[in-house]
Structure 1
Amino acid sequence: MLPELPVEPVLEVVGVFVAAMSGALAAVRKQFDLFGLLVLAWATGLGGGVLRDLLIGAVPPVGISDVRLMGAALAGGLVMYFGHPRLERARRVIVVLDAGALALFAVVGTVKGLEHGTTALAAIVVGVLTGVGGGILRDLLTGEVPVVLHHRQLYAVPALLGSAATVALWHLGLAGAVGLSAVAVGVFALRVLALRFDLNAPGPWRAPGASRQR
């Protein structure tokens, strides 16, 4: 029997809500109107889940079928729309909360992939896409190069490690509430530490003595 997903529905809703707030904040900075802001909030909060469901064949995707999650995304957008003068100054708090959403989505996405009978590799890919997919859509819709590709931040790497750890626990029969919660905490901690200490992925390799191109 497949293990039950140990993440409470309320935590998934909170993850969507926080991710949607980060999308709405990007919309505010780009001077989007209310409709555009809500679209970007929805894409950021639920984009990763939609990509996941399309990949694993879960129809219809949660982004257009789960009223709770759609409501959380729209609520996050509205909160940012009305409260952005104060919330924008609290961007660091939102970034930290977004790290929690990344951790949650990576674990949830991996487990849902496994529940649908995917291979271990496919489940890892699905988990990573669930974690970072919303952020990628947010950046593309605002005309930015996705931060996961060019800022060298440890953003996808924690999701990748968390997804791989989730698959390992699943196949060892240890994917219970304690095990998966520990993975989510680990992903969150790694992301926060990367932000705190400015830990980056390696940039382009340069031969010794090569000058930087300006």
Structure 2
Amino acid sequence: MLLVVLDLVGIAVFAASGALGGVRARLDTFGVVVLGMTTALGGGIIRDVLLGVHPPATLRDWRYLLVPIVTSLVVFWFHPQVAKLRRAVLLADAVGLGLFTVSGTATALAHGVPTYTACLIGMTAGIGGGALRDVLLREIPMVLRKEIYALAALAGAGVVVLGAQLGWPDNPVAVVAAAITVTIRLVALWRRWNAPVARGVSG
């Protein structure tokens, strides 16, 4: 049940992020909903494909489809108010990253994959939807060009794996792992931390 709740909250948060990107790109209603759903469900679908879950969980439960559709429509109709909440949107995106990373890692562990694989799948679940969003908007995915994003997800996934190996209770570990991911992401935004890029390369 905890994994379902984490998934649905993360889906709503990422759907809002994707839909807002669609509004800024001046997409129509359908385009905004598609972008919101892609951002919200992309990471989970990639996770399930990697784990051999067919069809993916997000396509077998109506809640996984209804939540991003409703969220995207709300953003479409109330986007001026949402756009003003820039800090709130960044916070929500960080929270979504933490929730999806934890959920993805825990799901991978439940399928009996090795710990390093669970970390990579958890990270991919956290960043996958945002990467697909950027590709659809014809942008280089943010995770590949700036900001501490994937590293924050990898840190959270590592905590989930460590907790499982040490036999710690699942719920507290999930909360701590998500909090660590969110904290690293927010501190990176606040301090404007970016991963190093190659120097001396002309545009």
Shift of 1:36: 1.1
Structure 1 segment 9-20 matched on structure 2, within 5 A: 9-20=4-15
Which residue of structure 2 lines up, in the alignment, with residue 89 of structure 1?
Answer: 84
Please give the residue correspondences for 1:30-69 in structure 2 after superposition, counting only pairs within 5 Å: 30-69=25-64
Q: Is the 8 Å Cα contact of residues 155 and 180 (structure 2) preserved in structure 1?
A: no
What TM-score, normalized to structure 2?
Answer: 0.94
Q: Does residue 1:195 correspond to 2:173, yes or no?
A: no
Q: Distance in 1 between matches of 2:201 and 2:120?
A: 34
Number of aligned residues = 203
CA contact (8 A) 2:19 2:32 kept: yes
- Aligned CA RMSD, in angstroms, stands at 1.5
Q: What is the rounded CA distance, in whole Å, between the counterparts of 2:77 and 2:191 in structure 1?
A: 32
Matched, 1:161 2:192: no
Unmatched runs of 5 consecutive residues or more in structure 1: none
Contact 1:48–1:131 (Cα < 8 Å) also in 2: yes
Give 1:63 deviation, angstroms: 2.7
Aligned positions of 1:120-159 closer than 5 A: 120-151=115-146, 153-159=147-153
Residue 71 of structure 2 corresponds to residue 76 of structure 1:
yes
Aligned-pair distance for 1:162? 0.9
Query: Please, which of 91, 100, 114 is the counterpart of residue 105 of structure 1?
Result: 100
The ranges of structure 1 where at least 4 consecutive aligned residues each deviate by more than 4 angstroms after the TM superposition are none
**Contact 1:194 1:200 (8 Å CA) reproduced:** yes
Q: Rg larger in 1 or in 2?
A: 1
Q: CA deviation at 1:11?
A: 4.0
Alignment equivalent of 2:17, drawn from 1, 14, 22: 22
Letter in 1 for 2:109: L
Counterpart-to-counterpart distance in 2, 1:13 and 1:67: 11
TM-superposed deviation, 1:8: 6.1
Structure 1 length normalisation: TM-score? 0.90
